[in-house]
Amino acid sequence: MGRRAIIAGATGLVGGELVKLLLGMREYEGITVLVRRRINVAHPRLTQLVIDYEKLGELPPELFAETDVYCALGTTMKKAGSKESFERVDYHYPMELGKLAKRAGAASYLLVSSTGADANSKFFYTRVKGRLERDLQSLSLRSLHLFRPSLILGDRGEFRFGESMAAKLSAWMPLLFAGPLGKYKPVHAEAIAGAMAAAALTKGTFERIIPSNRIGSMASLLRK
């Protein structure tokens, strides 16, 4: 019997890459995406579950049993419009998914977090990410993988000056992100998806944090 996956955040950059990747993997017999609106993807192994994220707790527990739960939810303060709205997306929804995963006995929970995540950070963004990591760890999930990418590169359909400059610096000056600065190395969304899938296929029980400069090497394990 093949594996099953749930993807939250399938309309985002990393989530979209996860959908493409997992549908192409023979290990997965079924992929369910939790979406507010349907995505433009059709596949016999893909189920689109249109939900209200405010009612995550109403989802049937069996949906999460022995399932790899991929959480790529995230927004920006600009899009959220307020700190409260940002926390709903970047803390409360992923945390509720973690609780569902725990109750149902999910095989693994894989989260896109952020470089600098720290529950005691002076900065709101990294403080929220740190609180989420800390509280997910307190659930004692069977297998928890926390990915901390720096700037995420990929085709967003919009120009972002900071990401463009970071991509160029990474290509022109690779030594800039060597040593202690490695955790700030920009990483492509495709690599993050690959690393998450590789982690999910790892046998055993794990709780680990994967910094930005280790994501690429983990993703390469899928190709071996």
Q: Which pTM value belongs to this model?
A: 0.90
pLDDT at 169 over 70: no
In percent, the amount of the chain with pLDDT more than 70 equals 86
Between 94-98, 171-175, 218-222, the lowest mean confidence (pLDDT) is in: 171-175
CB–CB of 150/116 below 8 Å? Answer: no
Confidence at residue 203, expressed as pLDDT on a 0 to 100 scale? 82
State the Cα–Cα distance between residues 224 and 222, nearest whole angstrom: 6
Domain extent for 131: 3-223
pLDDT bracket for residue 159 (50, 70, 90) = very low
Q: Kindly compute the dihedral angle of the four CA atoms of residues 19, 89, 137, 31, in this order, to the nearest 10 degrees.
A: -20
For residue 5, which of 92, 15, 94, 36 has the smallest C-alpha distance?
Answer: 15
Confidence at residue 162, expressed as pLDDT on a 0 to 100 scale? 53
Task: Give residue-wise pLDDT tens across range 28-87.
Answer: 999 999 999 999 999 999 999 999 999 999 999 899 999 999 999 999 888 999 999 999
The residues pairing with 144 across neighbouring beta strands, listed in sequence order, are 109, 207
pLDDT at 105 over 80: yes
3-class SS letters over 158-199: CCCHHHHHHHHHHHHCHHHHCHHHHHHCCEEHHHHHHHHHHH
Domain tally, the chain: 1
pLDDT at 172 over 50: no
State the Cα–Cα distance between residues 142 and 60, nearest whole angstrom: 19
State the Cα–Cα distance between residues 33 and 50, nearest whole angstrom: 8
Confidence at residue 119, expressed as pLDDT on a 0 to 100 scale? 97
Check which CATH number belongs to the domain holding 215 and give it: 3.40.50.720
Token readout for 60 is 């049937």
State the Cα–Cα distance between residues 129 and 71, nearest whole angstrom: 13
State the Cα–Cα distance between residues 31 and 186, nearest whole angstrom: 28
pLDDT at 166 over 90: no
Confidence at residue 136, expressed as pLDDT on a 0 to 100 scale? 98
